[in-house]
A and B are shown apart, each in its own frame.
Chain A
Amino acid sequence: MSQIPTKAKRGRRAARGFFEKTLGHLTETLEHTLFAEEIARQDGMLQSLDPRAKLLGALALLIAISLSHSLLVIAALYILTLPLAAASRVPMGYYIKRVWVFMPFFTGIIALPALFSPFTPGEPLLTLIDLTSPRVYLAITVPGVVTAAFLLLRVGSSVSVAVLLMLTTRWVTLLKALRTLRLPQAFVLILGITYRYIYVLLHAANNMFIARRSRVMRRMSGAENRRWLAASIGTLFTKSYALSDDVYLAMQSRGFRGDSHVMGNLEWRRADWLWLTGSLVIATAALWVGR
């Protein structure tokens, strides 16, 4: 008897859930791009570096984090990023929260079972259940804790490095860096255009969701919602298809013929050498210690 109402309730919650979740996602992403742009514009330590130096240095750190066989070394590498973030005017609270509260939510759930004996057998750290008949045994094991710690620490530190790179580098300069690092022109050009379209599409999608929220009074069924979603993706597509057509014409009108030209005004200074050498030395040292 209780089956039916529960089911209906669940369906309703899911219907609202998908809507609010998506709208939340869209708004958050839009705000995030604005926020990142704002920090990247500040006059901080990492902001002043050449994007190529920053990119290569970040890669060296990522590889070191990834290769290290020692939890302490990974933790040390992470702690090193904290003063860097502070010197680059990245709000500390945001920096730490973004990584350790939001990001590994997924990883946390994945790492959790690894703590326990059925998944990672070994010396018990804390025995939870130990019955002889029937044979039931559950413990948090030492290797389990080590395994979970490796995963969480590695993911968290890697994401931190990526977040730091992203928050302190303007998209434009990163594109320039990629170009001078010999990526195919077509690729970099597509990257640039995509970023621009993402912004247009995010805005359009956000508006569609907000418009629907203000218009629709009653709850809609799952099927109605799915149809609406398909139509919105379709509308987004049609709008942007026409837009992309015109954008191409506008590019052509101003001389674009399939290859792109840029004026390289990136400047490699002494600070960049210092940073690159520094991060390479730290990465190598980390690998040596954490062998």
Chain B
Amino acid sequence: MKIDTEKSTVIFEAERVSFAYNNHQVALQDASLTVRAGERLAILGTNGCGKSTLLKILDGLYFPTSGTLRAFGEPMTEEVLLDGARAYAFRRRVGLVFQDPDVQLFSPTVWDEVTFAPLHLGLPHPEVIERAEWAMSLLDIQKLRDRVPHRLSGGEKKKVALASVLSLRPEVWLLDEPTASLDPRSQSRLLDFIWELEREGNTVITATNDLAILEEVADRVIIFSEDHQIVGEGSPQEVLSNYELLAKCNLIHEHRHKHGEIEHEHPHAHRYTHEHKHEK
């Protein structure tokens, strides 16, 4: 349920943001974008194009080497996030789900994992417990409570990772490659989960290279080129029909193959639904 007045609220405002690792390894070049409350935004690009870096910048984990970023109307600088109260206020509103759940699961048990965020953001203990229970029941992982997170299966790990952010109840969700390395069933469950988040009015920013999920997770798509720049923007339908742009960003490639006797060529995206007709 999206309310129009909310849509006008600007959440992130990035202006020519660049970032380089160790001051020389460029990961993001002059990115400008605006994200409004309740928006469903996808950041599309190949591996290493800078979309993960952008999510980390939006989450206040990295700081732009040049350019400015404002979040909730406030400038996002290292100083702001070093201030305890302001950092807490920001972190309570924004949650990042990492691509690799192994990265995110560092606690000894699932319960510790799910309580980590509310506990560390200073919520009173009864509320921490209540939120953790709620998050676990929503993802149906109560029976994993005492398990060691890194010994779970891939799908279970992803659920725990989601629950660990869900217990924070952030209004802005940053998802890095949410469907990567998930089996089809877990994938569709995850898409349901994202859809539910969006329905409740959360802002969801999904970084992905999976063209198949674009329409399900986004109303608006931003495309990154391989040299770390934003090269296009549009609705999922517009982006998906722009073969030239997709090919340029290395998201699809010419594909030559045989169907019985017929050999032909067409643009092909890995993991993209493979549908086409043959003219006899």
B168 adjacent to chain A (CB < 8 Å): yes
The segment from A1-9, A48-56, A219-227, A256-264 found at the interface with B is A256-264
Task: Report whether B120 and A250 are in contact in the complex, using a CB–CB cutoff of 8 Å.
Answer: no
Q: Are B61 and A253 in contact (CB under 8 A)?
A: yes
Is B95 within 8 A of A253, CB to CB? yes
On whether A262 and B164 interact (CB within 8 A), knowing A37-B148, A250-B103, A250-B104, the answer reads no
List the A residue with the shortest CB-CB distance to B121. Answer: A255
A199 & B150 in contact (Cβ 8 Å cutoff): yes
Question: Which residues of A are found within 8 Å of B88, using beta-carbon distances?
Answer: 255
Q: In the complex where A172-B112, A199-B150, A262-B112 touch, is A252 in contact with B106 (Cβ < 8 A)?
A: no
Complex CA gap A175/B109 in Å reads 11
Minimum distance in angstroms from A183 CB to a CB of chain B = 15
Q: A172-B109, A172-B112 are in contact. Are A263 and B119 (CB under 8 A)?
A: yes
Check A253–B108 contact: CB distance below 8 A. Answer: no
**Cβ A200 vs Cβ B150 within 8 A:** yes
A residues less than 8 Å from B106 (CB atoms) = 192-193, 196, 247, 250-251
Least Cβ–Cβ distance between A135 and chain B, in angstroms:
64
Return chain B residues, CB-CB under 8 Å to A247: 103-104, 106
Say yes or no: A257-B84 contact (C-beta < 8 A), given A246-B98, A252-B61. Answer: yes
Question: 1/0 per residue A186-206: CB within 8 Å of B?
Answer: 000000110110011000000
Min Cβ gap B47→A in Å is: 14
Complex: A207 Cα to B103 Cα, angstroms: 19
By a CB distance below 8 angstroms, the chain A residues around B96 are: 250, 253
A19 at the interface (CB under 8 A from B): no
B121: chain A residues within 8 A (beta carbon)? 254-255
Q: How far is it, in angstroms, between the C-alpha of A262 and the C-alpha of B118 when the chains are bound?
A: 11
- Closest B-chain residue to A41, C-beta based? B146
Main secondary structure of the interface of B (DSSP, over half): helix
Does B171 sit within 8 A of A, measured CB to CB? no
**Known: A246-B98, A247-B103, A263-B128. Is A254-B117 also a contact (CB below 8 A)?**
yes
In the bound complex, do residue A250 and residue B108 qualify as a contact, i.e. CB atoms below 8 Å apart?
no
Residues 147 to 161 of chain B near chain A (Cβ within 8 Å): 148, 150-151
- Contact check, B117 vs A246: say whether CB atoms are below 8 A apart: no
Complex: chain A residue closest to B117, CB-CB: A254
Whether A255 pairs with B91 at a CB distance below 8 angstroms is yes
A200 to B151, CA, bound (A): 10
B interface footprint on A239-280 (CB within 8 Å = 1, 0 otherwise)? 000010011011111111100111100000000000000000
Chain A residues with Cβ below 8 Å from B95 are 253-254
Given A172-B109, A243-B103, A263-B125, A253–B59 Cβ distance below 8 Å? yes
Which residues from chain B contact A249 at a C-beta distance below 8 Å?
Answer: 56, 61, 98
Closest to A253 in B: B96
Distance A246 CA – B121 CA, assembled complex (angstroms): 19
A171 within 8 A of B: yes
Give Cα distance in the complex from A69 to B102, angstroms. Answer: 50
Q: A254 near B164 (CB under 8 angstroms)? A: yes
Contact: A254 with B108, CB < 8 Å? no
A283 to chain B, nearest CB (A): 30
Contacts of B269 in A (CB 8 A): none
User: Which chain A residues border B115 with CB–CB below 8 Å?
Assistant: 263
Tell whether A262 pairs with B119 under 8 Å between CB atoms, given A243-B102, A246-B103. yes
What 0/1 pattern do residues 123 to 154 of A give for CB contact below 8 A with B? 00000000000000000000000000000000
Report B115 CB to chain A, min CB distance, Å. Answer: 7
| CA gap between A254 and B107 in the complex, in Å | 12
- Could you say which of B61, B103, B112, B117 contacts A255, with CB atoms under 8 Å apart? B117
Docked complex: B44-60 residues within 8 A CB-CB of A? 56, 59
Chain B residues near A252 (CB, 8 Å)? Answer: 61
Interface flag for B243 (CB, 8 Å) = no
Query: Within the assembled complex, what's the spacing in Å between the Cα atoms of A192 and B116?
Result: 14
Write out the residue numbers on chain A whose beta carbons fall within 8 Å of the beta carbon of B125: 263
Q: B150 and A250: CB pair below 8 A?
A: no
Chain B residues whose CB sits within 8 angstroms of the CB of A196 once the complex forms: 106, 108, 150
Beyond the given pairs A247-B104, A254-B95, A255-B116, 7 more chain A to chain B contacts, judged by CB atoms under 8 angstroms and listed by A's residue number, are A199-B151, A246-B100, A247-B103, A250-B104, A253-B61, A254-B168, A255-B121
B interface with A by C-beta (< 8 Å): 56, 59, 61, 84, 87-88, 91, 95-96, 98, 100, 102-104, 106-109, 112, 115-117, 119-122, 125, 128-129, 146, 148, 150-151, 164-165, 168
For this complex, 24 residue pairs linking A to B, each with C-beta atoms less than 8 Å apart, are A171-B108, A171-B148, A172-B108, A172-B112, A175-B108, A196-B106, A199-B150, A243-B102, A243-B103, A246-B100, A247-B104, A249-B56, A250-B98, A250-B104, A251-B106, A252-B61, A253-B59, A254-B117, A254-B164, A255-B91, A255-B119, A257-B120, A261-B119, A263-B115
